[in-house]
Chains A and B, each alone.
Chain A
Amino acid sequence: MQPLLIYDGRCGFCRIWIDYWQRLTGDRIEYAPSQEAGPRFPQIPEAAFRQAVQLVRPDGSYVSGARAVFETLGWQRVYESASWIAGPIEAAYGWVARHRNFAYWLTRLTFGKRIEPARFALTQWLFLRVLAAIYMVAFASLAVQATGLLGQHGISPAHDFFDRVGGSLGWMRYWAVPSLFWWNSTDMVLTGACWAGVVLSAVLFAGYLERLALVLLYVLYLSFTLAGQEFLSFQWDALLLETGFLAIFFGHSGVMQKTIAWLYRWLAFRLYFLSGFVKLSSGDPNWRGLSALDFHYYTQPLPTILAWYADKLPRWFQHASTFTVLAIELGAPFLIFAPRRIRLFGAGLLLGLEALIFATGNYTFFNLLAVAITLFLFDDQALRGLVWTPRRANLECAPSTRIARLVAAALTIVILPLGLSRIFENAGMRLPEPIEAVARYTSPFQIVNSYGLFAVMTTDRLEIIVEGSNDGQQWLAYEFPYKPGDVNRAPRWAAPHQPRLDWQMWFAALGDYRTNPWFVAFAERLLEGSPDVLALLDKNPFPDHPPRYVRATTWDYHFSTWEEHRQTGAWWHREIRGTYLPPVGLRTTANRHVGQVFNLRADFPIGAVARFPNPRAGDNPAPQNARGD
């Protein structure tokens, strides 16, 4: 005979929670409404059934109220652990029992008609498919750029980077820069690794060898982010690594599914909340004054064509939008930890924000990744009926083993405080030294990172125009595939692909060539006519032979007005700002001659590319600011 929990069958609040507990306890406990079972237990007064639930034990004894609930759920040890616990719990139970109408209303509002134990088997299945698709896009996008960016004749050759770092770090190199490309970083290996990533993503998508594929994908992408230097140090690269690392621990046991789901919720909280927090903590007057979106659409790195239209919306609308963005980024993350219905509402707000960002800006696979993480705000109950799954998909929830519990606990103990340390870091505070030490030692693996986009809104769009010339008189512009150049070309759609050179040009414009040594190397490659680098461009004005000289100028770009667009068809208008990189050429006699023609200063770098702070010979070319800030 099992224990029997007797409840008031006319109380809607009781029925909802009893239904939920039945699912949790299974056959271990029997349940019956007092109107039906009450007469069988004359030792319990009728009034007691109306006041609280009664648990009748197999030996005939009974307990009521909070104690009955705790025993039903198997938490009697918690209840009995200390005398000071039982009192407040019984008081709280009594209060709820006396205000059942309010409690019923609150339950319906926050949980709906029914409360189901959260299961994440379907969520996990869907998430892994989306993650596989994102990995596939990330590796395919890299495959077509790897040699141009990191190859032997690329802009920042990986093997030079490893030579430079290896010399200074000794054996620590493998911990400080954990990358497979220490052993080989030839063009063939770099490209092959990208395509291997694509194949592994396909294997993961198909649902085969999931854990092995996830481990290899993480290791490969980590290797690339470190070999890629400034070209792979964007926030979404770190976010993909953090997301991919957690995914390695997915399993079919209930405890692992729940733990991982909660750790992803923790990641979602940090991602969104920090994005809002840094905007206000930076003290930027444009965010605080709600004028940030007056500038955002045309100053963001790679706007889409919809950004041109969004930029034309009235000022009051832009200010209201800025307020909404801040409200969602700072408020909605707290809904992640709220009861189900409120959490789903929060998920809707976050997904809506991501959709708008995706529509108006090319943020590579970042929005997809944010959406993938936000999937964990949903559970199987919410996704059921919306997601098609193949017959072979394993959506079973296996019993939790001891090892699974240990792994779940270990993962939580590491990830939770590390995430907290990232939040504190942004607030200018520090956690106890042991946590800071763990954060430092694990930082090369990028398993827990700091996020926060557009902390300071740029109010000017400075665009670098790179030109080549054979005579120093007539200069022809190189056209990039996605970044603004020709004013008559409409902003293009690139996402989820990331044209990494185009992106890097936006950051380069915030500084000068001295703070961006890679830019000088880029100019050098254009002078050499490197086919790998030229493949990263849209238009090469020197198809037959490379130019003798290359220069770069800075221009102030704005979206054109309706009037300008009607009259000229232009999407942009621009004004010259100045020189970014003075004319340079490879060290030849002819170049020195041109140097005289241009009446250049004695230290002017004509014919002196090799004298520049060269990324292949100088210091580690760290980016001058955080990616995406």
Chain B
Amino acid sequence: MFNVLTVSWGSVTVILVGLLIYRALIGMREEDQLFLATGEEHQAAKQQVLQARIHSVNKFAVWLGVLSGVLLIGMASLWVYENMAQR
């Protein structure tokens, strides 16, 4: 059981770290002000798409962060329980 939890925690955390790196990379392209010449409105549309993507990545990252934390606490609890209960 402990091994299953460890593998799960490791997987979730690796995905979380990957997601955070991805979030940082796409965040580099995010602007909070744009100077648009005529015919460059597509830049504003691009930014809107980018912001929507960042928003959904943020949501996933929060959930994965919570899951990683819960799994870590679960691992610690199981580790203590197994050692205490061992006969």
List residues 23-70 of chain B with CB under 8 A from any CB of chain A.
28, 30-33, 35, 37
Q: How far is the CA of A113 from the CA of B33 in the complex (A)?
A: 10
B3 part of interface (Cβ distance < 8 Å): no
Task: Decide: B35 and A10 in contact? CB cutoff 8 A.
Answer: yes
Task: Decide: A113 and B37 in contact? CB cutoff 8 A.
Answer: no
Q: How far is the CA of A105 from the CA of B37 in the complex (A)?
A: 23
What are the 9 tightest A-B residue pairs by CB atom distance, in nearest-first order? Answer: A9-B35, A562-B83, A108-B28, A33-B35, A113-B32, A35-B37, A15-B33, A10-B35, A566-B84
A565 part of interface (Cβ distance < 8 Å): yes
Instruction: For B31, give its contact among A12, A33, A36, A309 (CB under 8 Å).
Output: A12
**Known contacts A108-B28, A109-B28, A113-B30; is-contact A566 B86 (Cβ 8 Å):** yes
A-contacting residues of B (Cβ < 8 Å)? Answer: 28, 30-33, 35, 37, 80, 83-84, 86-87
Instruction: For A312, give its contact among B33, B83, B87 (CB under 8 Å).
Output: B83
Task: Decide: A15 and B84 in contact? CB cutoff 8 A.
Answer: no
A114 part of interface (Cβ distance < 8 Å): yes
A19 part of interface (Cβ distance < 8 Å): yes
Q: How far is the CA of A9 from the CA of B33 in the complex (A)?
A: 10
Q: How far is the CA of A302 from the CA of B67 in the complex (A)?
A: 33
Interface size, A (range): 10 to 19
In the bound complex, residues from chain B placing their C-beta under 8 Å from that of A109 are 28
In the bound complex, residues from chain B placing their C-beta under 8 Å from that of A36 are 35
Of chain A, the residue at the smallest CB distance from B40 is: A10
Task: Decide: A114 and B35 in contact? CB cutoff 8 A.
Answer: no
Task: Decide: A113 and B83 in contact? CB cutoff 8 A.
Answer: no
In the bound complex, residues from chain B placing their C-beta under 8 Å from that of A114 are 32
A325 to chain B, nearest CB (A): 20
Of chain B, the residue at the smallest CB distance from A563 is: B86
**Known contacts A105-B28, A109-B28, A309-B80; is-contact A35 B86 (Cβ 8 Å):** no
In the bound complex, residues from chain B placing their C-beta under 8 Å from that of A309 are 80
Instruction: For B86, give its contact among A33, A108, A113, A562 (CB under 8 Å).
Output: A562
List residues 467-488 of chain A with CB under 8 A from any CB of chain B.
none
Task: Decide: A562 and B32 in contact? CB cutoff 8 A.
Answer: no
Q: How far is the CA of A105 from the CA of B29 in the complex (A)?
A: 9
Q: How far is the CA of A108 from the CA of B33 in the complex (A)?
A: 14
In the bound complex, residues from chain B placing their C-beta under 8 Å from that of A105 are 28
A455 to chain B, nearest CB (A): 31
In the bound complex, residues from chain B placing their C-beta under 8 Å from that of A15 are 31, 33, 35
List residues 2-53 of chain A with CB under 8 A from any CB of chain B.
9-10, 12, 15, 19, 33, 35-36
Could you mark each residue 361-386 of chain A with 1 if its beta carbon is under 8 Å from any beta carbon of chain B, else 0?
00000000000000000000000000
A351 to chain B, nearest CB (A): 17
In the bound complex, residues from chain B placing their C-beta under 8 Å from that of A108 are 28
Q: How far is the CA of A1 from the CA of B28 in the complex (A)?
A: 37
**Known contacts A562-B83, A562-B86, A566-B86; is-contact A113 B31 (Cβ 8 Å):** yes
8 A/B residue pairs, CB under 8 Å, sorted by A: A10-B35, A12-B31, A15-B33, A33-B35, A105-B28, A113-B30, A312-B83, A565-B84
Instruction: For B33, give its contact among A19, A562, A566 (CB under 8 Å).
Output: A19
Q: How far is the CA of A457 from the CA of B87 in the complex (A)?
A: 35
Q: How far is the CA of A86 from the CA of B62 in the complex (A)?
A: 49
List residues 302-320 of chain A with CB under 8 A from any CB of chain B.
309, 312
In the bound complex, residues from chain A placing their C-beta under 8 Å from that of B87 are 566
Task: Decide: B28 and A35 in contact? CB cutoff 8 A.
Answer: no
List residues 109-145 of chain A with CB under 8 A from any CB of chain B.
109, 113-114
Q: How far is the CA of A114 from the CA of B83 in the complex (A)?
A: 51
12 other contacts beyond A36-B35, A562-B84, with CB at 8 A cut-off? A9-B35, A10-B35, A12-B31, A15-B31, A33-B35, A105-B28, A113-B32, A309-B80, A565-B84, A566-B84, A566-B86, A566-B87
Q: How far is the CA of A35 from the CA of B84 in the complex (A)?
A: 72
In the bound complex, residues from chain B placing their C-beta under 8 Å from that of A565 are 84
Q: How far is the CA of A9 from the CA of B32 in the complex (A)?
A: 13
Of chain A, the residue at the smallest CB distance from B84 is: A566
In the bound complex, residues from chain B placing their C-beta under 8 Å from that of A33 are 35
In the bound complex, residues from chain A placing their C-beta under 8 Å from that of B84 are 562, 565-566
Q: How far is the CA of A566 from the CA of B84 in the complex (A)?
A: 6
List residues 521-569 of chain A with CB under 8 A from any CB of chain B.
562, 565-566
Q: How far is the CA of A9 from the CA of B28 in the complex (A)?
A: 18
Q: How far is the CA of A566 from the CA of B37 in the complex (A)?
A: 75
Of chain B, the residue at the smallest CB distance from A562 is: B83
B37 to chain A, nearest CB (A): 6
In the bound complex, residues from chain A placing their C-beta under 8 Å from that of B28 are 105, 108-109
Of chain B, the residue at the smallest CB distance from A10 is: B35
B20 to chain A, nearest CB (A): 12
Of chain B, the residue at the smallest CB distance from A34 is: B35
Of chain A, the residue at the smallest CB distance from B80 is: A309
In the bound complex, residues from chain A placing their C-beta under 8 Å from that of B30 are 113
Q: How far is the CA of A382 from the CA of B73 in the complex (A)?
A: 29
Q: How far is the CA of A33 from the CA of B84 in the complex (A)?
A: 69
In the bound complex, residues from chain A placing their C-beta under 8 Å from that of B80 are 309
Q: How far is the CA of A309 from the CA of B86 in the complex (A)?
A: 16
Could you mark each residue 607-622 of chain A with 1 if its beta carbon is under 8 Å from any beta carbon of chain B, else 0?
0000000000000000
Q: How far is the CA of A12 from the CA of B28 in the complex (A)?
A: 11
List residues 562-600 of chain A with CB under 8 A from any CB of chain B.
562, 565-566
In the bound complex, residues from chain B placing their C-beta under 8 Å from that of A312 are 83
Of chain A, the residue at the smallest CB distance from B43 is: A10
List residues 449-501 of chain A with CB under 8 A from any CB of chain B.
none
Q: How far is the CA of A430 from the CA of B46 in the complex (A)?
A: 60
Could you mark each residue 289-329 of chain A with 1 if its beta carbon is under 8 Å from any beta carbon of chain B, else 0?
00000000000000000000100100000000000000000
